[in-house]
Chain A
Amino acid sequence: MNGTAHAVSLDRDRSLLYVLREELGLTGTKYGCGEGECGACKVLLDGVAVRACKTPIGEAVGHSVTTIEGLATGDRLHPVQQAFVDASAFQCGFCIPGMIIATVSLLAQNPRPDEAEIRAALDGNLCRCCGYVRILEAVRMASALSPGRGPRGATR
C-alpha cells in the first residue's frame, strides 16, 4: 500500500474501499455510490485504475496499491496533481482524487490521448459540480507535461 506492506486480518470479500478508509485511515479515496458508477473510489492496482468499492480485498493481496495519498513525494506533487492545481480543476473537490487516479492510469497507458480517448477514460468518473471543462483542461495539461512514464516508471 503506497509502497508499504500492510497485514490486515479480514474477510477476503470486504471491499478494498472499506479497508482503505476504515482500517488504514486513508480517507482520500472516497465513497460515492458503492456500485462502481461514480469513480470517486478509484485507486491504482499495479498501476491500473480500479474501483475500490467493487474490489474485494482478497484481489489486492500481494499486489501494489497506490492511493491518492501515495502519488506525491513530500510536498512535490505528481505531475497530474500539479496540473489539476494549475488548472484550478476543482470545486468541492470530492471527486478529484478519483479523477486524478483515472488520469494517472490513462497517461501511463497512453501518454498522448486524444480528446475522445480522454473522455472515454474518464467517463466512469462523475463530478456533480460538473467541473468537466476544467478537468479536461487539467488532463490535457498533464498529458503535455507527461514524459510518457507510468506510475511505476515503465516507459511506454
Chain B
Amino acid sequence: MTGATPTVPFDRLSPTERPYFDRLGGGLVAVVAPQAPGPSGWGRGGPPHGGAWVHLGEDGKARAFTGKADVGQGTRTALALLVAEELRLPLAAVELTMGDTDVCPWDMGTFGSRSMPDAAQHLRRAGAAARAALVDLAAHALGIVPDRVELADGTARSRGPGPARSMTYGDLVKGIRRVEVASPSTEPLPPAEWQRAGHPSPSLGGFEIVTGARKYTSDLHPPGMLYGKVLFPPSYGAKLVRVDLARARAMGGVTAVHEGEFVGVAAPNMFLARAALGSVDAVWEPSPQPSDKNIVPYLRAHPAEGEDFWDVVHHETGDVAAALASAPVSLAATYTTAYIAHVPMETHAVLAAWDAPGRLTVWMGGQTPFRARDALSDALGLPPSNVHVVIPPTGSGFGGKHASELAVGAALLAKAAGQPVRITLSREEEFAHAYFRPMAVIDLRSGAEKDGTITAWQFQDWNAGAAAARIPYRVANQKIGNQPVASPLPQGSYRALAATANNFARESHIDELAARFGADPVDYRLRHLADERLAAVLRAVAERAGWKAPRGRAGRRKPTGEGRGIAVGLEKEGRVATFAEVRVRDDRRLEVARIVTGFECGAIVHPANLKSQIEGGTIMALGGALFESIRFEEGRILNPRLSQYRVPRFRDVPPIEVVLLDRPDLPSQGGGETPLIAVAPAIANAIFDATGRRLRSLPLVPDGTVP
C-alpha cells in the first residue's frame, strides 16, 4: 500500500527534485507542475495545486499519480483510461495512485466536480509529455525520424519505407532515468482521436469487490490495533464543563485521552471500548437551540459572514425594483429545502499508526487527504513530511467526508496507547455527528410583460450557497444574491448542494410563470434560454419523453391525477434536463412513473460510468426531492437511524431513461453532481400538472402523499 517511505512528500519538492526513481526504479517520468491558484474561485489563497505525474517503467507498465480520490464516483477507471489513451497502452497496463500524500501532487480535495476538468486534464498532459518522450527515444533507438514512429499497445514501430522495426516501451526506457516536464505546448490527443477513452470499457476493481477482498478503511486491522471511541457532545452547542477519565483508565487495557476539544478512549475490543466510553464522567452545559418547527424564521434572523467555504454571489443587471414595479404581471413565492444527511454506506472510518516516534500514517475513508495531512500536522505539532495520509477504497462520500477531526482523534489515541487505533463510527454517530446538506430558504419575485416575456428576476437565497443561483435565461433586470446563515446544525458539502436548492426554486418558478400565461413549459423555457447547449439538451429530452403541451392552461384544466413536468439546469459546465411523469392515486399517494434525464458535459470519457452516475444521481436526488429530511429539537437529531430516516430503495426506482449528448469538440466536465439538480423541480412541476397543487418545499411528500 505504501512501499518505501520518501523523506519529503513529493508535493513539497519541485517537479524536477522528486526522487521518482528511488521509489519506482528506472524509466521515464513525465510531470505536470502544480498550478498557482487564481485570485478567485477554487483554492484561492492556497498553495499551488493539481498537477500529475506518470512513470513508465522497464516492465512496460505505467504508474500515474493524482491527488484526487475515488470514493465510488468511478474516476479511477475514467482517469486511467485517459492515461492509457495518451500512452497508447492497454488499460490493464496503467496503475493509478490516488490521494496518497507522500507521492501525489497536492490537491484541495475531491469536490466540486473537479476531477474531470482538473485532474483529467493534468493526467492527459503528463501522458502526452511521456508520449512525446517515447517518440523521441524510439526515433533514436530505431534510427528513424520521429514522424515515422508509431506507438500502439506498448510497442513503438517504424512505419513507411524500409524494413519494419519495433521495440517495446519497456526496452525503450531500460537503463534511463529521464524526467520530462510538460511544457505549455504539450497537447493531449483530441477526443476525436481517442481509441479507448470515449468507448465502452469495464470498470476497474470488480473482482476484488465481488469477492469481498477489497479492503476499506473499516476493514483494516493491523496487529495490536485498538478500537477507538469518541465522546461526542449530547447536543449541538453543548460545552464540556468537566470530564473525569479515572474510571475509564482504571479498566485494564483502556487508554483515555482528553486533549483540547477531543475526548476519547481506545481498547483491545469494541465492547470494552464502548464500556470505557460509558464510564467517562462528563458534565455538559447545553445551549438553547431551535427545532425544525421554527427553523425558517430562525434562519432569516441569523445572517452570518460568509465562511471561506461558501461562495457568495451578488449579481445585478438593469433595475429590478423599477422593472418589478412596472411589470403588468408579477409573481412572488418562497421555496425551501431541508437539512439532509449523506448516509454513506461505509460510515466514517480512520486508522492511525505511528511507524516510529514522530512519523504518523493515517488511512481514512475520505475526500480530502492533503487537508487532513495539514490538520494532523497542525494538531500534533509535526512537520507535514512526518504525516502520511492514505485514502483506501472508501464506501462513498457525497461530500460528507471532508472533515479531519476523527483523524486527529485517532492519532492522539494511537500516540497515547503506543498502538494503532481505528475509529469507525456507528450509523447513529454518523447521522448525529457528521454534518448535513444545508437547509435553504429562497425568496423569488419575478415580473413579466403581458406576452409572458420575463423582465425582472429578484432572487434571494438564505443558506443554500451560490451555485446555480445565476440563471440561464435572458432577463433584462436581475438581482441575485445569497446570504450565509449561522446554521444551528453543522453543515457542509453535499453532492450538488446549493445547485439543487437554487435550481428547485428557479425551475419551479419558471413553471409557475409558464402556467400563469398558459404557455407550454418547454416552449416557455426555450423562448428565454440564453444557452444553446442547454436548449439542445432540453429539446433532446422533450423528444425522448414524447413531450406534448399540457392540455389547455395547466392551472385551469381539470386535474386528472396524472402529470408531466420538466426542468433544466446548468452548473459546473454540465447541462441537464429532466422529465418526470407522476401519478397521484385516489388516496393521494404519489408514484413517480417515469424519468428521462439528458446530460451534456463535453467529451464523454467513460460512457457506461457516466450513465451510471446519471442514474445514481437521479435516484439519490429522488430521496431529497420526495422524503429525506433531518428532524431536530434542542440540538438533537430525532431520526438518526436508517429505520427512521428513509433513503431510496429498489421500490423507489422508477423507469429511468438517460440521454447522453457527447461533444468531443468540448473539454470533459464532471458528471457526478449536476445530473441531480433538475429532478426535484421536474417532479414538483409534474405534481402541479397532475393536481393543480404547487408544492414549494423539499421534501415534497414526506409521508408519501400529496397534501
For residue A94, which residues in chain B have a CB less than 8 angstroms away from its CB? Answer: 72, 216, 345-346, 395-396
Asked if B270 is at the interface (CB within 8 A of a chain A CB), the reply is yes
Known: A22-B270, A88-B608, A128-B647. A97 touches B345 (CB 8 A): no
Asked if A85 contacts B427 (CB within 8 A), the reply is no
Known: A81-B211, A91-B72. A128 touches B651 (CB 8 A): no
Asked if B269 is at the interface (CB within 8 A of a chain A CB), the reply is yes
Asked if A57 is at the interface (CB within 8 A of a chain B CB), the reply is no
Asked if B616 contacts A126 (CB within 8 A), the reply is no
For residue B54, which residues in chain A have a CB less than 8 angstroms away from its CB? Answer: none
- Residue among A37, A85, A88, A96 with the highest chain B CB neighbour number at 10 A: A88
Nearest-CB residue, chain B, relative to A133? B615
Known: A88-B608, A131-B612, A134-B612. A72 touches B653 (CB 8 A): no
How far, in angstroms, from A119 to B651 measured CA to CA in the complex? Answer: 6
Asked if B615 contacts A134 (CB within 8 A), the reply is yes
Asked if B205 contacts A93 (CB within 8 A), the reply is yes
Asked if B242 is at the interface (CB within 8 A of a chain A CB), the reply is no
Asked if B209 contacts A90 (CB within 8 A), the reply is yes
Asked if A40 contacts B212 (CB within 8 A), the reply is no
Nearest-CB residue, chain A, relative to B342? A128
Asked if B619 is at the interface (CB within 8 A of a chain A CB), the reply is yes
For residue B221, which residues in chain A have a CB less than 8 angstroms away from its CB? Answer: 22, 25, 27
How far, in angstroms, from A69 to B618 measured CA to CA in the complex? Answer: 32
Nearest-CB residue, chain A, relative to B204? A88
B 195-214 binary contact with A (CB < 8 Å = 1; else 0): 00000001101111111111
Nearest-CB residue, chain B, relative to A139? B650
Nearest-CB residue, chain B, relative to A25? B221
Asked if B653 contacts A133 (CB within 8 A), the reply is yes
For residue B648, which residues in chain A have a CB less than 8 angstroms away from its CB? Answer: 130, 132
How far, in angstroms, from A35 to B213 measured CA to CA in the complex? Answer: 24
**Which of B427, B617, B619 is in CB contact (< 8 Å) with A34?**
B427
For residue B211, which residues in chain A have a CB less than 8 angstroms away from its CB? Answer: 28, 68-69, 71-72, 77, 81
Asked if A136 is at the interface (CB within 8 A of a chain B CB), the reply is yes
Asked if B398 is at the interface (CB within 8 A of a chain A CB), the reply is yes
Asked if B649 contacts A123 (CB within 8 A), the reply is yes
Expressed in whole angstroms, the minimum distance between the Cβ of A49 and any Cβ of chain B is 15
Asked if B345 contacts A100 (CB within 8 A), the reply is no
Main secondary structure of the interface of B (DSSP, over half): loop
Asked if B674 is at the interface (CB within 8 A of a chain A CB), the reply is no
Asked if A127 is at the interface (CB within 8 A of a chain B CB), the reply is yes
Counted as pairs of residues, one from A and one from B, with CB atoms less than 8 Å apart, the total is 163
Mark out the residues of chain B between 48 and 76 whose CB falls within 8 Å of any chain A CB in the assembled complex. 71-74
Expressed in whole angstroms, the minimum distance between the Cβ of B363 and any Cβ of chain A is 14
Known: A28-B212, A136-B650. A128 touches B206 (CB 8 A): no
For residue B347, which residues in chain A have a CB less than 8 angstroms away from its CB? Answer: 31-32
How far, in angstroms, from A90 to B345 measured CA to CA in the complex? Answer: 13
Known: A33-B427, A130-B617, A130-B619. A88 touches B345 (CB 8 A): no
How far, in angstroms, from A31 to B227 measured CA to CA in the complex? Answer: 15
Asked if A130 contacts B203 (CB within 8 A), the reply is no
**Which of A29, A69, A82, A91 is in CB contact (< 8 Å) with B396?**
A91
Asked if A52 is at the interface (CB within 8 A of a chain B CB), the reply is no
Mark out the residues of chain B between 609 and 668 whose CB falls within 8 Å of any chain A CB in the assembled complex. 609, 612, 615-620, 641-643, 647-651, 653, 656
Mark out the residues of chain B between 533 and 584 whose CB falls within 8 Å of any chain A CB in the assembled complex. none
How far, in angstroms, from A27 to B72 measured CA to CA in the complex? Answer: 19
Asked if A132 contacts B345 (CB within 8 A), the reply is no
Asked if B218 is at the interface (CB within 8 A of a chain A CB), the reply is yes
How far, in angstroms, from A134 to B656 measured CA to CA in the complex? Answer: 11
Expressed in whole angstroms, the minimum distance between the Cβ of A52 and any Cβ of chain B is 13
Asked if B656 contacts A133 (CB within 8 A), the reply is yes
Asked if A67 is at the interface (CB within 8 A of a chain B CB), the reply is yes
For residue A97, which residues in chain B have a CB less than 8 angstroms away from its CB? Answer: 210, 212
How far, in angstroms, from A25 to B221 measured CA to CA in the complex? Answer: 9
Nearest-CB residue, chain A, relative to B652? A132
**Which of B343, B346, B653 is in CB contact (< 8 Å) with A30?**
B346
How far, in angstroms, from A30 to B608 measured CA to CA in the complex? Answer: 26
**Which of A21, A31, A84, A129 is in CB contact (< 8 Å) with B616?**
A129
A 37-72 binary contact with B (CB < 8 Å = 1; else 0): 110100000000000000000000000000111011
Asked if A8 is at the interface (CB within 8 A of a chain B CB), the reply is no
Asked if A16 is at the interface (CB within 8 A of a chain B CB), the reply is no
Known: A38-B345, A92-B393, A94-B345. A132 touches B650 (CB 8 A): yes
Asked if B345 contacts A32 (CB within 8 A), the reply is yes
Asked if A107 is at the interface (CB within 8 A of a chain B CB), the reply is no
Asked if B344 is at the interface (CB within 8 A of a chain A CB), the reply is yes
Mark out the residues of chain B between 280 and 305 whose CB falls within 8 Å of any chain A CB in the assembled complex. none
Expressed in whole angstroms, the minimum distance between the Cβ of A68 and any Cβ of chain B is 4
Nearest-CB residue, chain A, relative to B623? A130
Expressed in whole angstroms, the minimum distance between the Cβ of A100 and any Cβ of chain B is 6
How far, in angstroms, from A121 to B284 measured CA to CA in the complex? Answer: 46
How far, in angstroms, from A37 to B612 measured CA to CA in the complex? Answer: 24
Expressed in whole angstroms, the minimum distance between the Cβ of A30 and any Cβ of chain B is 7
Mark out the residues of chain B between 186 and 234 whose CB falls within 8 Å of any chain A CB in the assembled complex. 202-203, 205-216, 218-219, 221
Nearest-CB residue, chain B, relative to A67? B212
Expressed in whole angstroms, the minimum distance between the Cβ of A79 and any Cβ of chain B is 11
Asked if A85 contacts B210 (CB within 8 A), the reply is yes
Asked if A108 is at the interface (CB within 8 A of a chain B CB), the reply is no
Asked if A88 contacts B427 (CB within 8 A), the reply is no
For residue B269, which residues in chain A have a CB less than 8 angstroms away from its CB? Answer: 22
Nearest-CB residue, chain B, relative to A26? B212
**Which of B206, B218, B395, B653 is in CB contact (< 8 Å) with A92?**
B395
Asked if A93 contacts B642 (CB within 8 A), the reply is no
Asked if B210 contacts A129 (CB within 8 A), the reply is no
For residue B209, which residues in chain A have a CB less than 8 angstroms away from its CB? Answer: 84, 90, 93, 96
Known: A33-B427, A38-B642, A128-B343. A84 touches B206 (CB 8 A): yes
Apart from A26-B212, A136-B653, what are 12 other A-B pairs with CB-CB below 8 Å? Answer: A21-B219, A32-B642, A34-B426, A34-B427, A37-B641, A91-B74, A126-B649, A128-B344, A129-B616, A130-B648, A131-B612, A132-B648
Spell out A's residues near B (CB within 8 Å).
18, 21-22, 25-35, 37-38, 40, 67-69, 71-72, 77, 81-82, 84-85, 88, 90-97, 100, 118-119, 122-123, 125-134, 136
Q: 9 A-B Cβ contacts within 8 A?
A: A30-B216, A30-B218, A67-B212, A91-B396, A93-B214, A93-B393, A128-B342, A133-B615, A134-B612
Spell out B's residues near A (CB within 8 Å).
71-74, 202-203, 205-216, 218-219, 221, 269-270, 342-347, 393-396, 398, 424, 426-427, 608-609, 612, 615-620, 641-643, 647-651, 653, 656
**Across chains A and B, which 5 residue pairs bring their CB atoms closest together, nearest first?**
A28-B212, A92-B72, A94-B395, A68-B212, A93-B209
